[in-house]
Structure 1
């Protein structure tokens, strides 16, 4: 093991063992980190920080419920970052599909946030609210607490006004996900399609180099690839300022490895929130959120701290250069050839008790159907089988699929008959993947950004009738497709035509649209006008 390479573990004190564990955690060596934390706790069992860090490594090893118990223990011991940890605890309980516990922790989290002064800077976890909450104004308030937190310690750079300079418009995309990651998968063809005569594109990468073909595509797709991993947020901001970036696009948001402190320094005169985070940044230092008429209608402006900049099509780009398998052999993936396959390939936190109730209702209504789910972590299979049994559904009706590399995942996904969406957080990347391989998606639209994404995707391929406004119509729509093979075939045919001829999978068209938006925003800023909603 890494920690005993130079000194026996017994010779190390608890603090040193925890520090070693944190170092290993930062290098993604979680099995070794777990051993360090356990040895540290053997010496000092009441250390809240070590329990929390142990929970983080369990989480990243896919052991979500074990992670939840560690985080719960850290809170009981008085962990300093209690609000952030409470959010993570809710998320871990949802990842393990332990819904009653998640609901109880959610109530405790909400009460703790409400007890703080309105507008206070708080180290909360806004992603949890964005994907699990259904109140858009509450989601905004939590995001604003978090965005203000960074302003308490980030020193802004001297202001730089937007000014025309006669050269190419300098765009920088800032993220820690420029490798084989869902965000990169979505945006790579758009990057490759940028007009290099009019735009100078920089990728500012704060994440790992995984050596993947995706990483190589990203490097080749831009004028400049700035690898800033390991640098301080202040150094990242200064580098962006030194490059003279005109428009800085945050493609990370308040997710793990957030780069909001970089944006809080205001390195660019115009700063945008786009794609990675399903909702508002809550930040006064971000000027616009990039959306579309469905995910960010102007009558939802109060849901966002930023001004809304609408693209004409879906805000989500897609890559039409990836594999597109059709008609894969079901037997290769352990699927029955004579059953209707209802697919719910979601991260498990998206599967709420209400969603699972409707899925079990569908299984009762469709005796020849099976429910095909991802085995997203080590806990989800047992949790969902128990939940199904409690609802009168036998274990043979649920099939679980392991995680696979992207090409294999797409080939497998093409075997499904209907993709079942979730709420209040829809499938986003995966919904686009399902449509790409010819599987219709049935969704339930809501008031939050996260619950409007699939509706936007479906609109672009001409299948608005698969967007439902209530749970009953959702069940009826799925059942109607599953019970009528001719209707299902007709929908799939329209889907294929919509993918081929429509805008959703046209990366070049998306590049032109977002470039036109950038130019409109930049012209306005150069005229000295404040940010204002940009209708499509």
Structure 2
């Protein structure tokens, strides 16, 4: 999950026993957090008294406060050399190193500070935040809990970070306790309310969902103010594309400081006059690992025509040791690990490679570095694949790569980016990872003779409207069952209760255990008869998996990008007849497939003929993507930017 609001690392404010008027005036500026004035006053003092401890500490504090971490580090380290037992200086050094993503050094600094001042709540919180950003979520919990205990009053920021750590660690019931406490303490905090909605969807607790969603819309005046990470509302029923754009725009303004958004674009004049036969394309992501993005993109990177493009992977995340990671390291012409590099250095490093086009695979999903995009890493930047929506500001992305279904021409007003269309689906499918041998239904825990509907989506994509429709389908198909992917915490009994409340026996809802190997997962998916696409946040990579396993999918064509992905995949599979335009039509299609097994068999045979279907033709998709890149570059050299779109016959 992204964070709900900007949490600034301000650094520990200096304390000092010197009481001369100049020092007292400096401390007053520090207390008021007037960073520019603190810097001016501190430098003036240092010019007269080099090495003055209070002035050095105040200068480091001011540089942290203005996000100038590279400048702050030598100042703080010089101060530490003079005062090695000052815990505030070690804490501030840890903050700077954290912002530069030098994790091991930053945690060591926080631990040194805590050795000198064990129960300092700010330093404990900072250590927890560092662990959180390192994805050591369970390690983040103890220092954050201790920070809350040591704080005089309610340490709201630490509680919020604790909630994030617990949520990320999939300890959703504990996370709910924190988010609920924060919401009760301040029901007008929209970021907390957004996260409360998110955690309740994850835990499949819907009793207050509509009430909270109504409150969110009302308190945000129709999402006209910052109201939480834009990824979360993709799963909220009833939101329009216009509202999602507003959420992204206001969130971006609240998260990215003006110096990044207002920085002048870099001079790419040398590249601009170049007419290359081979474009340099960078792919920018922390998900170049065992993650849905890494999984679906692997074959496409392998398929790129090296006579046309050079492809460089910029990895923002650490090596998870997975086969997907190893495969991607080989697939790219160059693979650059930026996991330990700060925002400014990230932009500098990519610029050094003279990239023509940088493809951001994050948007507003976790671990992105939107500030680096705001600093402009390449002449052309495009938003693709990781986030089903607009990033909210054209400074970060010039283009949004979609297709005629997910981003039709008439929806252009809902995106800050210029639309660019792939001819079929924007979603790649890795056809080099195919299903293994099919197991038996008994081995999978399924009834031998039942008709099996399935959905292997994340639990946050389920909601009351989805279960209303799915229970209706089950009630009208007596010997059917619904096979869902594994869910955590108490979500399983809650979903069972929701289905029972809708008139469906509990034993007809079956949960599959987790399997580590994608081949095994695809193998068992073949046992299903029909996949049911959730809404408004459709199956994305999961939808591609179902089709690859030969399972026809029923999808409801929604309004938003995230709600049109199922239809996009079905169009690319040439299965437009499985796209519904209303809930009634959706139910009708799903029930008709139950009743007409011959037609269902024809659909399955159709999907088995993979070479004939655009959804599985990754060589063609790679070529179409390269064509888009060359069209983008041609427009750039001409000094124009126009939509690169195509029309669409009715789905």
TM-score tier, shorter chain, comes to over 0.9
Which stretch of structure 1 is more off in the superposition, 68-77 or 218-227?
A: 68-77
TM-score, with structure 2 as normaliser: 0.77
Which among 537, 546, 557 is matched to residue 434 of structure 1?
A: 546
Q: Quote the offset at 1:151 in angstroms.
A: 5.3
TM-score, with structure 1 as normaliser: 0.93
Match of 2:393 in 1: 283
Q: Quote the offset at 1:236 in angstroms.
A: 0.8
- Cα separation, partners in 2 of 1:79 and 1:239, compared to 1, 3 Å: farther
Which stretch of structure 1 is more off in the superposition, 104-113 or 253-262?
A: 104-113
The CA distance in 2 between the partners of 1:153 and 1:110, in whole Å, is 30
Query: Does 1:201 find its partner at 2:307?
Result: no
Contact in 2 for aligned 1:48/1:73 (Cα 8 Å): no
Q: Quote the offset at 1:511 in angstroms.
A: 0.8
Unaligned 5+ residue runs, structure 2?
A: 1-106
The CA distance in 2 between the partners of 1:252 and 1:186, in whole Å, is 14
The CA distance in 2 between the partners of 1:354 and 1:166, in whole Å, is 51
Query: Does 1:394 find its partner at 2:501?
Result: no
* Counterpart mapping for 1:307-346 below 5 A: 307-325=418-436, 327-346=438-457
Q: Quote the offset at 1:132 in angstroms.
A: 2.2
* Counterpart mapping for 1:159-308 below 5 A: 159-161=267-269, 162-166=272-276, 168-285=278-395, 286-308=397-419
Which among 151, 154, 157 is matched to residue 49 of structure 1?
A: 157
Contact in 1 for aligned 2:234/2:536 (Cα 8 Å): no
* Counterpart mapping for 1:24-39 below 5 A: 24-39=131-146
Contact in 1 for aligned 2:284/2:315 (Cα 8 Å): yes
The CA distance in 1 between the partners of 2:448 and 2:290, in whole Å, is 32
Query: Does 1:127 find its partner at 2:236?
Result: no
Unaligned 5+ residue runs, structure 1?
A: none
Match of 2:489 in 1: 378
Which stretch of structure 1 is more off in the superposition, 95-104 or 298-307?
A: 95-104
Which among 421, 429, 449 is matched to residue 533 of structure 2?
A: 421
Match of 1:139 in 2: 244
The CA distance in 1 between the partners of 2:532 and 2:268, in whole Å, is 47
Query: Does 1:404 find its partner at 2:511?
Result: no
- Cα separation, partners in 2 of 1:304 and 1:500, compared to 1, 3 Å: same
- Cα separation, partners in 2 of 1:202 and 1:486, compared to 1, 3 Å: same
Structure of greater relative contact order (alpha carbons < 8 Å, 6+ residues apart) = 1
Q: Deviations over 1:250-291 (max 9, x none)?
A: 111111112221111122111111111111111122111111
Q: Quote the offset at 1:46 in angstroms.
A: 1.5
The CA distance in 2 between the partners of 1:260 and 1:452, in whole Å, is 25
Q: Quote the offset at 1:147 in angstroms.
A: 3.0
Contact in 2 for aligned 1:48/1:78 (Cα 8 Å): no
Query: Does 1:152 find its partner at 2:258?
Result: yes
The CA distance in 2 between the partners of 1:29 and 1:143, in whole Å, is 28
Secondary structure, aligned partner of 1:451: coil
Q: Quote the offset at 1:197 in angstroms.
A: 2.2
Secondary structure, aligned partner of 1:126: coil
Contact in 2 for aligned 1:49/1:79 (Cα 8 Å): no
Secondary structure, aligned partner of 2:231: helix
Secondary structure, aligned partner of 1:290: strand
Q: Quote the offset at 1:319 in angstroms.
A: 1.1
Q: Quote the offset at 1:37 in angstroms.
A: 2.6
- Cα separation, partners in 2 of 1:321 and 1:287, compared to 1, 3 Å: same
Secondary structure, aligned partner of 1:289: strand
Secondary structure, aligned partner of 1:262: helix
Which stretch of structure 1 is more off in the superposition, 100-109 or 8-17?
A: 8-17
Q: Quote the offset at 1:246 in angstroms.
A: 0.8
Secondary structure, aligned partner of 1:69: helix
Match of 1:100 in 2: 207
Secondary structure, aligned partner of 2:144: helix
Match of 1:495 in 2: 607
- Cα separation, partners in 2 of 1:257 and 1:440, compared to 1, 3 Å: same
The CA distance in 2 between the partners of 1:349 and 1:373, in whole Å, is 13
- Cα separation, partners in 2 of 1:123 and 1:484, compared to 1, 3 Å: closer
Match of 1:19 in 2: 126
The CA distance in 1 between the partners of 2:644 and 2:631, in whole Å, is 11
Q: Quote the offset at 1:168 in angstroms.
A: 2.2
- Cα separation, partners in 2 of 1:206 and 1:156, compared to 1, 3 Å: farther
The CA distance in 2 between the partners of 1:20 and 1:520, in whole Å, is 47
Match of 1:477 in 2: 589
- Cα separation, partners in 2 of 1:28 and 1:530, compared to 1, 3 Å: closer
Secondary structure, aligned partner of 2:208: helix
Contact in 1 for aligned 2:204/2:462 (Cα 8 Å): yes
Match of 1:65 in 2: 173
The structure with the larger Rg is 2
Secondary structure, aligned partner of 2:482: strand
Cα RMSD for the two superposed structures: 2.5
Which stretch of structure 1 is more off in the superposition, 442-451 or 62-71?
A: 62-71
Contact in 2 for aligned 1:288/1:531 (Cα 8 Å): no
Contact in 1 for aligned 2:227/2:247 (Cα 8 Å): no
Contact in 2 for aligned 1:46/1:77 (Cα 8 Å): no
Q: Quote the offset at 1:111 in angstroms.
A: 2.7
Contact in 2 for aligned 1:342/1:419 (Cα 8 Å): yes
Secondary structure, aligned partner of 2:483: strand
- Cα separation, partners in 2 of 1:389 and 1:123, compared to 1, 3 Å: closer
Which stretch of structure 1 is more off in the superposition, 71-80 or 250-259?
A: 71-80
The CA distance in 2 between the partners of 1:16 and 1:468, in whole Å, is 54
Match of 2:643 in 1: 532
Q: Quote the offset at 1:62 in angstroms.
A: 1.8
Q: Quote the offset at 1:157 in angstroms.
A: 4.4
Q: Quote the offset at 1:42 in angstroms.
A: 3.2
